[in-house]
Amino acid sequence: MKRPPMLMHVKIRREDGGFCLWLPLFLLLPLALVLLIALSPLILLAVIVLWVSGRGKRPLLITRTVLSLLCSVRFIGAAVDLLCSMRGLRVDISSHSDRVHILIA
| Mean pLDDT in order along the chain per 10 residues (105 residues) | 84 89 85 84 77 64 73 80 88 91 90
CA atoms within 13 A on the CB side of 98: 6
Looking at residue 94, what is its pLDDT?
92
| Per-position DSSP letters for 9-52, written without gaps between them | EEEEEETTEEEEEEEEHHHHHHHHHHHHHHHHHHHHHHHHHHHH
CA distance 65 to 32: 24
Looking at residue 60, what is its pLDDT?
65
Contact 94, 100 (CB under 8 A): yes
Looking at residue 10, what is its pLDDT?
92
3-class secondary structure, 10: strand
